[in-house]
Chain A
Amino acid sequence: ETGVTQTPRHLVMGMTNKKSLKCEQHLGHNAMYWYKQSAKKPLELMFVYNFKEQTENNSVPSRFSPECPNSSHLFLHLHTLQPEDSALYLCASSHDPPALGLRSYEQYFGPGTRLTVT
């Protein structure tokens, strides 16, 4: 496996279900991100983890719960979602910008999980 992988690629769930999205990166990065991509809206940053510690929570509803057990894996646990949560959820990783002193770091994206809430 190379790069950033995400599973599942597609997920349909009811509003009362609980599911989890998984992201894994094989790039040796220590920062990982969750983004939400909805139609006709800019990508929305949801969560940021640096060295397994959450450093950003962009006012995301509590029905989305991230987990980062190590710097290679990132999960997004979902429960009691709403139809408006249907979107493409993208995971990304990068080197930790402050550690490198760079603001020009690149983020590498996974292919995303297409989520449909019924």
Chain B
Amino acid sequence: AQSVTQLGSHVSVSEGALVLLRCNYSSSVPPYLFWYVQYPNQGLQLLLKYTSAATLVKGINGFEAEFKKSETSFHLTKPSAHMSDAAEYFCAVITNTDKLIFGTGTRLQVFP
């Protein structure tokens, strides 16, 4: 069965610092992986997705993620955090029955 694990329920960074949010997946088939962001009082918005093309995926708002099969990881990064990046971030994988399975989320705080 497919699943994702997000390490760290909370991450705090200073404005301008590197953002690294971790996601590891488990899948018996080639995975399709996603990162979603949820701003306060809003629904989830797709940041980026991996669909077995390029292993480095660029998304919106300067975020990117790298698929590493050897590490079963799909970590989300941004070189320089902005105050507006404060939100909750969810990693997700599509199962072989077309269900979208989410991780427990990582809340990102950005300090001035």
Binding site for B on A (CB under 8 A): 4, 6, 40-43, 45, 56, 90, 92, 97-98, 103-112
Q: Is B104 an interface residue (CB 8 A)?
A: yes
- CB atoms of B104 and A104 under 8 A apart: no
Encoded as 1 (CB less than 8 Å from any A CB) or 0, chain B from 29 to 58 comes to 000101010000111111001010000000
Q: Which residues of B contact A41 (CB under 8 A)?
A: 104
Given A103-B32, A104-B49, A109 contacting B102 (CB threshold 8 A): no
Please tell me which one of the listed residues B49, B99, B104 contacts residue A42 in the complex, with CB atoms under 8 A apart.
B104
Task: Determine if A104 and B51 form an interchain contact, defined as CB atoms under 8 angstroms apart.
Answer: yes
Given A43-B90, A103-B32, A104-B49, are A111 and B41 neighbors across the interface (CB < 8 Å)? Answer: yes
Find chain A residues with CB under 8 A from B44 CB.
Answer: 43, 90, 92, 107, 109
The verdict on A110 contacting B43 (CB below 8 Å), with A40-B104, A104-B51 known, is yes
B49 in complex: contacting residue of A45, A98, A106, A111, CB < 8 Å: A106
B residues sitting closer than 8 Å to A (CB atoms) are: 9, 32, 34, 36, 41-46, 49, 51, 90, 94, 98-105
Report which residue of B43, B99, B100 has the largest number of chain A beta carbons within 10 angstroms of its beta carbon: B43
Distance (whole angstroms) from the CB of B86 to the closest CB of chain A: 18
- How many A-B pairs have beta carbons closer than 8 Å: the answer is 48
Q: A103-B94, A104-B32, A104-B51 are in contact. Are A43 and B102 (CB under 8 A)?
A: yes
| Chain A residue with the shortest CB-CB distance to B90 | A43
User: When chains A and B are docked, how far (Å) is the Cα of A41 from the Cα of B94?
Assistant: 18
Contact flag A111-B46 (CB < 8 Å), given A41-B104, A104-B94: no
Residues of A close to B99: CB separation below 8 A: 45, 56
Beta-carbon contact of A42 and B98 below 8 Å: no
B98: which of A97, A106, A109 is its contact (CB, 8 Å)?
A97
Within 8 Å CB of A42, what residues of B?
101-105
Whether A111 touches B43, Cβ cut-off 8 Å, given contacts A40-B104, A98-B98, A103-B98, is yes
User: Which residue on chain A has the smallest CB distance to residue B3?
Assistant: A42
Name 25 interchain pairs, CB-CB below 8 A, sorted by A.
A4-B43, A6-B43, A40-B9, A40-B104, A42-B101, A42-B102, A43-B90, A45-B99, A56-B99, A90-B44, A92-B43, A97-B98, A103-B51, A104-B32, A104-B51, A104-B94, A105-B94, A106-B34, A106-B49, A107-B46, A109-B43, A109-B44, A109-B45, A111-B41, A112-B42
